[in-house]
Structure 1
Amino acid sequence: MTSRYWVVSLPVENSASSVWNRLQEQISKHSFDTPLYRFNIPNLRVGTLDLLLSLSDDLVKSSNFIEGVSHKTRRQIEEFERVSGVESNALTVDGVPVDSYLTRFVWDEAKYPTMSPLKEIVDSIHSQVAKIEDDLKVRVAEYNNVRSQLNAINRKQSGSLAVRDLSDLVKTEDIIISEHLITLPAIVPKYSQKDWLASYETLTNYVVPRSSKKLYEDNEYALYTVTLFKRAADNFRTNAREKGFQIRDFEYSPEAQDSRKQELERLVRDQESLRSSLLQWCYTSYGEVFSSWMHFCAVRVFAESILRYGLPPSFLACVLSPTTKSEKKVRSILEGFCDNSNSTHWKSEDEMGGGIFGLGGEADTYPYPSFTINLV
């Protein structure tokens, strides 16, 4: 799929077909590797030039916004496909590949009546895309919330012993809890294990001799248990901390462990379900946004052509996809079609002291309306 296209508009004096045939001939002769397509724009309601001028700034801003939402939705799709390990699907608009939808564009009269004022069409497109963007934010936030909860649990289960959940490491047989005795988990730096074994019985009174048992070891720490009288527990914690040993707060509960396991399984299911549904929603929404974007491009070409060439509307809109090495030659061909009286509305940026008719971006650079569509 080609990822970059130019949308341009050329002046027509007599016949659009004549201009189109000449353009095809010139492109074929001098830049045969450049695909060329008609961009079919209906007869929209012009209104007044003052209205078009007041609309021109909104056209550029809204175009950037809609393009941004399109790319944002596409990136979200690519991320979900990568995370899910699914094969990337070719994106479509109404069942048609996006590049084909652009190069064979047909205006949707039912959705955007051509007799509606241009500003009404522009506002309608903008509001539809804005709603999709808002929905995307809400859905992604919901997914990210579940993913954050799951990541937090995974960090507790896979982090170092200083922070991880100990419930899957300490078993019933490792714990003694009675009216007077308690078993505490101790996190001991790996290099201090000999020191721990030599000193834990003397950190305070009432430690059960030879009660410490090693349960687990990671790259930094070892997990030991120690049993002592409950009344000495606080003093033991303090003295252990002074020697660099961490006594973790821990309460063994099979019920709580089962509850955490069920919560983890629920979050895993929720994440998969949300990701799958959000991916499907993004596929559909991308098509809607892209369709809105192309209709907006049609409005923009129409408005900029009127401001450039005047009334009545008489122009040929085209879509081209030149290679990098062909760009200069194609620009030269296009400018050759503007060397006539229809281009007298255009002056250079210096002559005008700024943008052309308030139109920003590429429209200021050439004697014909032109802007680039990047599909990715």
Structure 2
Amino acid sequence: MASRYWVISLTVQGSASSLWNRLQEQISKHSFDTPLYRFNIPNIRVGTLDSLLSLSDDLLKSNSFVEGVSHKIRRQIEELERVSGVESSSLTVDGVPVDSYLTRFVWDEAKYPTMSPLREIVDGIHSQVAKIEDDLKVRIAEYNNVRSQLNAINRKQAGSLAVRDLSNLVKPEDIITSEHLVTLLAVVPKYSQKDWLSSYETLTSYVVPRSTKMLYEDNEYALYTVTLFNRVADNFRTSAREKGFQIRDFEYSSEAQETRKQELEKLMHDQESLRSSLLQWCYTSYGEVFSSWMHFCAVRVFAESVLRYGLPPSFLSCVLAPSVKREKKVRSILEGLCDNANRQVVELLSVTFWKTDDEAGGGIVGLTGEADAHPYVSFTINLV
């Protein structure tokens, strides 16, 4: 599948079928590996020249917006598939691959009546895509919120003993809590373990001898228990801190443990559910946005062709996918099919509408937004 296509239109002097045959013949003879397709545009309501000129000012900006939303949804699909471990599937529009939808484009009369003013069609496409983009933002925010909560929990469980959640490291039998006794949890630097074992009983009075036990260790710290009288707990915390030992506040509760476990399971379920739902929504919405984009491209070809070639509308629109090495040859073929009058129009446009290199900051920008002027309508569609 090609990822880059040209949409072009050529003015028709005789018959469209004759021009199409000539184009096919030239492409087949000089650039046989360039796919070529008709881009069928219906008879759209032209309106006044003033309305068409006014519309042309917004076409490029609106096209960038619709194209941008299409790519944004596609990137979101790729990210969700990567995270989910889902094998990338071929994106479709109305059940057909996106490249086939483009190269076999058929105008949806039910959705976009051709008797509607062009401005109404363009505004309708823009509004529909804007609504989808807003919906995408809401859904992504909801998914990312759950994912952030899970990441925060995972960080607590994966961090060092100085900061991580200790609830999954401590068992009920490790803790003694009575009217007079309490068990504290000490986070000891690994290089200070010998110092801890030799000094913890003397950090304050009323420490239960030989009560310390190591529960866990990571790359930096070891987690120890120590049992002492409740009334000297504050003194022990102060003395331990002075020695470089951190006493972590911890209160074992089987109910709290179960609650945290249930919350974690719910978040994991919610994340998977939201991810699956978002992915399915993106598949559907990508098709809708891509379809809207292709209809917009059809309007753009029509409007720019009328402005360039005049009334009544008489032009041949096509889609091509030349390779990079064939681009110059295909451009030459297309220009060879334009009459001299068209070339003179382009020369005039180059002086009147197209900026010079200096004025454009090093690039020539035309009415169609292309990098250079051609004696025919041309713009590029990037599928990815």
* TM-score normalised according to structure 1 size: 0.96
In structure 2, C-alpha distance between the alignment counterparts of 1:206 and 1:51, rounded to whole Å? 92
Check the 8 A contact 2:368/2:379 in 1, yes or no: no
96-105 or 198-207, which deviates more: 198-207
Corresponding position of 2:379: 371
TM-fit CA distance, 1:340: 2.6
1:205 CA displacement = 2.4
> 1:353: Cα distance to partner?
5.2
- Give the equivalent residue in structure 2 for 1:26: 26
Q: CA deviation at 1:341?
A: 2.1
Which letter does structure 1 place at the counterpart of 2:374? Y
Question: How many residues in Structure 1 have an aligned counterpart in Structure 2?
Answer: 376
Q: Determine if contact 1:53/1:358 at 8 Å carries over to the other structure.
A: no
The 3-state SS of whatever aligns with 1:79 is helix
Give the distance between the partners of 2:310 and 2:371, measured in 1 at CA: 15
Q: C-alpha displacement at 1:37, in angstroms? A: 0.3
Q: Which moved more, 1:350-359 or 1:233-242?
A: 350-359
Per-residue deviation, 1:171: 0.8
- 1:125-204 to structure 2, matched below 5 A, reads 125-204=125-204
Q: Kindly indicate whether the alpha-carbon contact (under 8 Å) linking 1:4 and 1:374 is maintained by their aligned counterparts in 2.
A: yes
Q: Secondary structure at the match of 1:224?
A: strand
Conserved 8 A contact 2:44-2:115: yes
RMSD: 1.6
Q: Distance in 1 between matches of 2:371 and 2:52?
A: 15
Query: Residue 13 of structure 2 aligns with which residue?
Result: 13
Report whether the alignment pairs 1:359 with 2:370: no
- Cα-to-partner distance string for 1:146-202 (whole Å, 9 max, x where unaligned): 111111111112221111111111111111111122111111111111111112122
The sequence identity of aligned pairs, in percent, is 83
2:312 maps to 312
Stretches of structure 1 that go unaligned for 5 or more consecutive residues are none
Aligned residue in 1 for 2:361: none
Gaps of 5+ in 2: 356-363
Change in Cα spacing, 1:358 to 1:329, as seen in structure 2 (3 Å) is closer
Matched residue, 1:347: 347
Contact residue 13 and residue 342 of structure 1 kept, 8 A: no
Q: Equivalences for 1:1-376 in 2 at 5 Å?
A: 1-347=1-347, 350-352=350-352, 354=354, 359-362=367-370, 364-376=372-384
Distance 1:322 1:238 in 2: 76
Equivalent residues of 1:310, 1:345 under 8 A apart: no
- Out of 282-291 and 352-361, give the one that drifted further: 352-361
Report deviation, 1:243: 1.9
Q: What is the rounded CA distance, in whole Å, between the counterparts of 1:374 and 1:230 in structure 2?
A: 71
Does the CA-based 8 Å contact 2:353-2:366 persist in structure 1?
A: no
**Superposed displacement of residue 129, structure 1:** 0.5
Query: For residues 248-285 of structure 1, what are the alpha-carbon distances to aligned partners after superposition, in whole Å with 9 as ceiling and x for unaligned?
Result: 11110000001111111111111111111111111111
Partner amino acid, structure 2, of 1:51:
S
Whole-angstrom distance in 1 between the partners of 2:301 and 2:351: 23
Mapped partners of 2:365, 2:230: distance in 1: 84
Aligned partner of residue 347 in structure 2, secondary structure: coil
Supply the AA of the counterpart residue of 2:376. Answer: Y
Cα distance in 1, alignment partners of residues 350 and 250 from structure 2: 75
The one-letter code sitting in structure 1 at the alignment partner of 2:54 is: S
Letter of the 1:366 counterpart: H
- Report how far residue 348 of structure 1 moved: 5.9
Contact 2:7 2:378 in 1 (8 A): yes
- The whole-number CA distance in structure 2 between the counterparts of 1:69 and 1:224 is 54
**Counterpart code for 1:175:** I
Deviation at 1:364, TM superposition (A): 5.0
Secondary structure of residue in 1 paired with 2:183: strand
Q: Which moved more, 1:311-320 or 1:345-354?
A: 345-354
Cα 1:43/1:181, change in 2 over 3 Å: same
